Chain A
Amino acid sequence: MNCQTARQTLELVRPHDADAPASDEAERHVHDCLDCQTAVRTQRELDEKIGGIFRDVTVPADLKERLLAGIASAQPAAIDESSGSQVCVVAEDRVPARIVAPVRVSRRLWLNKYVLRISAGVAASLVGGFCLWLAVRPAPPTLTLDEVTTQVLDTAPTAMPRFTSFRRGTELKLPATMDVSPLGGAALQAGDLDAAVYVFKMSNRAGPPIEGRLIVIPAAALIDPPTAVSFLAGPTSYKATYCTTAWTEGKLVYICCTTGGETVLQRLKRLSV
């Protein structure tokens, strides 16, 4: 055993403490080492002095009485179990004046508790607000006009449930620039699209009935909402066996698709004049 180990061991030795390190080997070392004898003796003197000073604390004369009075007056049930902080009710007329004096530690704990609660409330509000914002913020558009049209036309009307409402709260309105008399039925939901679909069929004196679909979708959901602002002004294009035209009115985009080619669509436009 070297000097340092011997000194450290002896420094921690405590009589009658089963967990204290064994000192036999260290004692033997010190017995043969003059330097260690001096160091250990000095350390013990230092320990004695420090211990003496440590224990030499004057206890206030009336502390015990005040503690007992405080305990007698406190309502145990009022101790806050969650924080351990003192919230006891002390009957002021039953205890000496000093015991009624604010308990600084407890007050600070209370203050900290309030600060923590307020902070937690603010944090929760911020998180809640952020979540709410995430929930209500306009979703970035992910669909093109063409994709919407394709998906609607590929879905059989029988597979479409009844439309209820747009997800972001946009109000469903019929177009103002188109003859809506054929749109007698309820709007349908095309798959998971946030779009309403009207399936219509109207008589046509000049030929077979005009059949088609009117798709209504919030403009914000489209990457490429049409620039035309009326049914009549909407450009014509073809999608499968349908002739289509699309336009924007306010927050909604309408896509009118008719079977029978452009002539049929033009007739429908004339009926809307």
Chain B
Amino acid sequence: MDSSASKLADLVERYYALLYRYACRLTGCEADAEDLTQHAFLTAQAKWHQLQDESKAKSWLFTIARNAYLKELRGTCRIVTAELDEFSGPAPDSGRFDFDSEQLQTVLNSLPEEFRTPLILFYFEEFSYRDIAEQMDVPVGTVMSRLARAKAYLRQRLTAPAAATIAHRLPAATLSGAGSRAAAPMRAP
């Protein structure tokens, strides 16, 4: 096994689970997540020579996965650039956080990718703002801005008092979003 193959195997060892989890949240589908993970590693293998700084291999791998996902979205015309409304609803009530993984994924799926990715990477706590910004090729400030709005969106969709009334306030693009898979309606808590 040559040096790059050995390093790639090491990369698989260290990051395959994290990358799969990311892909799972990004695509909202386990089968697609597996394909995306596999695709990312195979692409990394083919383009190993492009990796200048091996300390950034993790970010590079995630960037490959995201680019592949975006390319796939472009192919199916499901990309949408949407603006999220500013939400300034009441503070969430901690007693009403009774959503589950499926509901969370449904709300996540209804977010345009440009908001979904920073949100996922933020909650994974594996990447700094700068890492996320580099992966998305946007300024750090943009990452934080999108993150703040995505969190507000999530908060509004997931907390009980707002859940019943939020649907009609959302921009159509974010609900029927071509950039997302079909978002099932939130179940009443």
Contacts and interface: CB of A to CB of B under 8 A. Distances in A.
Interface of A: 4, 8, 11-12, 14, 17-21, 35, 38-39, 41-43, 45-47, 49-51, 53-57, 59-60, 63-64, 66-68, 70-72, 74, 76-79, 81, 83-86, 88, 99, 103-106, 108-109, 111-112
Contact of A54 (B34, B91, B124): B124
6 contacts: A14-B128, A19-B128, A46-B94, A46-B158, A71-B42, A104-B32
Contacts, number: 159
Q: Chain A at the B interface: mostly helix, strand, loop or mixed?
A: helix
A55 B21 contact: yes
Closest 9 CB pairs between A and B? A79-B46, A112-B75, A39-B91, A19-B129, A57-B21, A105-B35, A51-B123, A54-B123, A42-B94
B138 to A, nearest CB: 13
A12 B119 CA distance: 11
Given A17-B129, A38-B91, A54-B124, A67 B72 contact: no
A81 B17 CA distance: 26
Interface in B88-147: 88, 91-94, 97, 100-101, 104, 120, 122-125, 128-130, 133, 140, 144, 147
A83 B46 CA distance: 12
B47 A54 contact: no
Interface residues of B, number: 63
Q: Chain B at the A interface: mostly helix, strand, loop or mixed?
A: helix
Interface stretch (B5-13, B52-60, B165-173, B175-183): B5-13
Nearest to B127: A17
B189 to A, nearest CB: 14
Contact of A79 (B12, B47, B124): B47
Interface string B30-49: 11101111110111011110
Contacts of B130: 18-19
Contacts of A112: 74-76
Interface string B63-81: 0100111011011100000
A101 to B, nearest CB: 9
A99 to B, nearest CB: 8
Nearest to A20: B129
